[in-house]
Amino acid sequence: MARIISMKDAVNEALDQEMSRDPTVIMMGEDIVGGSGAPGEDDAWGGVLGVSKGLYHKHPKQMLDTPLSESAYVGAAIGAATAGLRPVAELMFVDFIGVCLDQVFNQAAKFRYMFGGKAQTPVVIRAMCGAGFRAAAQHSQMLTPLFTHIPGLKVVCPSNAYDTKGLLIQAIRDNDPVIFLEHKNLYASTADVPEEPYTIPFGEANIVREGGDVTIVTYGQMVQRAEQAADMLKKDGIEAEIIDLRTLSPIDMDSVLESVEMTGRLVCVDEANPRCSIAADIAANVAQDGFDDLKAPIQMVTAPHSPVPFSPSLEDIYIPSAQSIADAARKTMEG
Amino acid sequence: MTEITPILMPKWGLSMQEGKLTDWHIKEGDEVKVGDEIMDVETDKITNVVEAADGGTVRRIVGTAGEVYPVRALLAVMAPASVPEEEIDAYVSAYETPVSDEEDEDTGPAYHVIELPIGKIRYAEQTGANADQTPIVLIHGFGGDLDNWLFNIDALAEHAPVYALDLPGHGQSVKSVDPGDPGIFTQTLLDFMDHCDIKRAHLVGHSMGGLVAGSTALDHPDRVASLTLICSAGLGEDINKDYIDGFVNAAGRKELKPVLTHLFYNQSLVSRAMVQDLLKYKRLDGVQDFLTQLSTTAFRDGKQARIIADKLATLDIPITVIWGENDAIIPASHAQNLPDVKPHVLGSAGHMVQMEHAGEVNKIIAASLD
């Protein structure tokens, strides 16, 4: 009875169901229209990796192929959101956010605050993130900390197909701007996903695995690696608890502190660069609010402070590995 | 070789891939009877005692307590004393654990989804040796689903074909239904029996499912061979309103977990996976509205809205009542409310008595079929 689908299909299904439910939900982006079997000019890609394949023919009035101008259509989506639509803008690679930062940081994120709570901006900006795709420095970044830093934005980075569908539907129904980051290396990963629409609330971490010895906090692609690390640790008799944050803003710090209260040991894993990262944020919060529970220094496992290398062998070393996570956990067990 | 009977890691529900053999209750040389407790098994969802499906002499313990084994791995071997050691050695070394496969349902129940007038209904079906017997239909309670019968379906299928359905608004059945009309459940049950060509059935209902079973028996006594009411609604006014409200309103893991502990005597049975599965259900579109509405129609002013005990007492259908002594949802005193029925009140058991004491409950139900 399990219905196993990929994370890519989970994104497609969430968009499909929400566009069916609510005609004010629209999609904008580069090459998002069309799909296999579509005639003439419609025979496009369904997104650069085919995520929106088949949606145009179901929702022709809700899908808008845009010019190659991120600053224009991200701005247009934010404007449309203030005027009553629920746009989902697809930014292809999150690395392209640079040219639309004013629209995102200075406009969308500020409207509710600057208009005294009277304005709402129900826009979702979807984009692929993360390394491991052999896409080099300008298409591989993990920019979660950049958005998490800005009040007024909600930031989501799911680790699996089930969470992806529920969090994306929640993002579309949410009345605030949501940055929805899909790790491109996870698109093929599969999970049991209900066919019916459902939502997962923001700010609730998922306890992926329970364990009493060390807490591993992470999100996105690193959840899988943390699980591999936990398997390695188990062979040494170390039981790791894995917390998948799911959303970085809001963030479920309570679950982290509760877990550390039990384990006394913390490993923060982040695919982002180390400075001002999600890992650094968690570490600082636990050091402040959970210091008495700690039995060992907090460990951070992150990418190095460098661009993502194009060389495949270097890129593989760049991304935090299960081994490095396990090593960090063992370090907390010393002494 | 046919004299050798293996004891295998059981498969509880579709998602179970492996289980931890936490403890043995038997040792080599023991005589085991059907129904004896043989081992404790723990999965990420639930912990339970496994009872022997076959009798025999334990000749070899293969599984080590504390280890994790895949579903259907060989854990022990039973054989008469006449079987030589060499033959048992050969059996153990030749045994290969079947590869776990979603499609391979030869040992577990088959799951089906059908279209009834009310919409999509999912059910599980398991037929064992006694396929010609009057079928048993299992009906779960408020907020439950057919997995509440995880430890009952296979055991009961030894006696008669077993069907367990997800009621409308529950499990994987249709969600967009109006529970304002309390008749939707009984009508669905009758439509379901028609669809499966079940003329008469032994109805086994848990909690609200007991009320559904009882109401169906009152309206259509010709369709009901016997009634088993487990911690049933409809036998008295009391209901734990805090549990119902807590269950309906809990939005997240931290709110739901303490609510669920009320269901069990052994509260450690409430696992992370159990909480997650219920949250997954509660978060489906339509479920929140459905449960809110259902709770206001089924319960009013903190009391059960519909009591059928008096009517049931006039019914000429055999009734069995089973209760968990420590039921914190519907008090066990309701078990006494059918004057002609001697209830089975099981100690150290809560509302989910069919899970907590599956073996005893299965025996009581099986005995009631005769």
Residue of B nearest to A18 (CA): B285
User: Residue B249: which pLDDT band, with cuts at 50, 70 and 90?
Assistant: very high
Return the closest-CA partner of residue B144 out of B195, B187, B206, B63.
Answer: B206
For the question of residue A139 being annotated catalytic, the response is: yes
User: What does the alpha-carbon distance between residue B350 and residue B356 come to, in Å, rounded to a whole number?
Assistant: 8
Residue B309 has pLDDT above 80, yes or no: yes
Domains of chain A: 4-192 (3.40.50.970), 206-333 (3.40.50.920)
Mark yes or no for CB contact A196/B251 under 8 Å. Answer: no
Tell me the per-residue pLDDT of B187-198, one tens digit each, with 9 for 90 and over: 999 999 999 999
Residue identified by tokens 């909480």 is: B275
User: What does the alpha-carbon distance between residue B33 and residue B57 come to, in Å, rounded to a whole number?
Assistant: 9
What pLDDT is attached to residue B36?
Answer: 84
What pLDDT is attached to residue B1?
Answer: 46
What pLDDT is attached to residue B49?
Answer: 85
What pLDDT is attached to residue A44?
Answer: 56
Residue identified by tokens 């088993």 is: B228
Residue A40 has pLDDT above 80, yes or no: no
Q: Which amino acid, B121? A: I
Residue B300 has pLDDT above 90, yes or no: no
Tell me the per-residue pLDDT of B85-134, one tens digit each, with 9 for 90 and over: 999 999 999 998 877 554 454 567 889 999 999 999 999 999 887 888 99
Distance (Å) from the alpha carbon of B361 to chain A's nearest alpha carbon? 27
What pLDDT is attached to residue A38?
Answer: 54
Residue B307: count of CB within 10 angstroms of its CB: 17
User: What does the alpha-carbon distance between residue B243 and residue A183 come to, in Å, rounded to a whole number?
Assistant: 40
Q: Which of B14, B175, B285 sits opposite A1 (nearest CB)?
A: B14
Return the closest-CA partner of residue A222 out of A264, A282, A166, A173.
Answer: A282
Judge whether A190 is closer than 8 Å to chain B, CB to CB.
no
Q: Which residues of A24-56 are buried (b: 16+ CB within 10 A; e: fewer)?
A: ebbbbbbbbbbbeebeeeeebbbbbbbbbbbbb
User: What does the alpha-carbon distance between residue B156 and residue B126 come to, in Å, rounded to a whole number?
Assistant: 9
User: What does the alpha-carbon distance between residue A64 and residue B346 come to, in Å, rounded to a whole number?
Assistant: 63
Q: Taking a contact as any Cβ pair under 8 Å apart, which residues of chain B between 262 and 281 contact chain A?
A: 272, 276, 280
Hey, what are B109's tokens? 């129940």
User: Residue B51: which pLDDT band, with cuts at 50, 70 and 90?
Assistant: confident
DSSP letter at B322 equals: E
What would the DSSP string read from start to end of A179-206?
EEEEEGGGTT-EEE--SS-B---TT--E
User: Residue B2: which pLDDT band, with cuts at 50, 70 and 90?
Assistant: low
User: What does the alpha-carbon distance between residue B259 and residue B270 come to, in Å, rounded to a whole number?
Assistant: 10
Average pLDDT of the segment spanning A54-81: 93
Average pLDDT of the segment spanning A58-87: 95
* Range ranked top by mean pLDDT from A29-33, A45-49, B199-203: B199-203
What pLDDT is attached to residue B108?
Answer: 74
DSSP letter at B222 equals: G
Tell me the per-residue pLDDT of A211-256, one tens digit each, with 9 for 90 and over: 999 999 999 999 999 999 999 999 999 999 999 999 999 999 999 9
Mark yes or no for CB contact B252/A166 under 8 Å. Answer: no
Average pLDDT of the segment spanning A66-77: 94
| CA-based end-to-end distance of chain A | 48
Mark yes or no for CB contact A207/B280 under 8 Å. Answer: no
What pLDDT is attached to residue B325?
Answer: 96
Q: Which of A57, A139, A183, A305 is catalytic?
A: A139
Tell me the per-residue pLDDT of A271-317, one tens digit each, with 9 for 90 and over: 999 999 999 999 999 999 999 999 999 999 999 999 999 999 999 99
Distance (Å) from the alpha carbon of A206 to chain B's nearest alpha carbon? 9
What pLDDT is attached to residue A1?
Answer: 57
Residue A11 has pLDDT above 80, yes or no: yes
Q: Which residues of B213-244 are buried (b: 16+ CB within 10 A; e: fewer)?
A: bbbbbbeeeebbbbbbbbbbbbbbeebbeebb
Q: Which amino acid, A265? A: R
Q: Taking a contact as any Cβ pair under 8 Å apart, which residues of chain B between 171 and 190 contact chain A?
A: 172, 175
Average pLDDT of the segment spanning A258-266: 97
Residues of A in contact with B111 (CB under 8 A): 1
A-B Cβ pairs (cutoff 8 Å, strict): 36
Judge whether A262 is closer than 8 Å to chain B, CB to CB.
no
Give residues with Cβ within 8 angstroms of A105, minimum separation 6.
A150, A153
Residue A54 has pLDDT above 90, yes or no: no
Tell me the per-residue pLDDT of A152-191, one tens digit each, with 9 for 90 and over: 999 999 999 999 999 999 999 999 999 999 999 999 999 9
Residue identified by tokens 């005027």 is: A83
Judge whether B285 is closer than 8 Å to chain A, CB to CB.
yes
Q: Which of A1, A166, A201 sits opposite B252 (nearest CB)?
A: A201
Mark yes or no for CB contact A196/B175 under 8 Å. Answer: yes
* Three-state DSSP state, B38: strand
Residue A2 has pLDDT above 90, yes or no: no
Mean pLDDT of chain B: 91
Residue A320 has pLDDT above 90, yes or no: yes
Residue B244 has pLDDT above 80, yes or no: yes
DSSP letter at B184 equals: H
Domains of chain B: 5-94 (2.40.50.100), 110-368 (3.40.50.1820)
User: Residue A57: which pLDDT band, with cuts at 50, 70 and 90?
Assistant: confident
Distance (Å) from the alpha carbon of A147 to chain B's nearest alpha carbon? 25
Tell me the per-residue pLDDT of A104-161, one tens digit each, with 9 for 90 and over: 999 999 999 999 999 999 999 999 999 999 999 999 999 999 999 999 999 999 999 9
What pLDDT is attached to residue A34?
Answer: 59
Hey, what are A326's tokens? 């396990």
Judge whether B110 is closer than 8 Å to chain A, CB to CB.
no
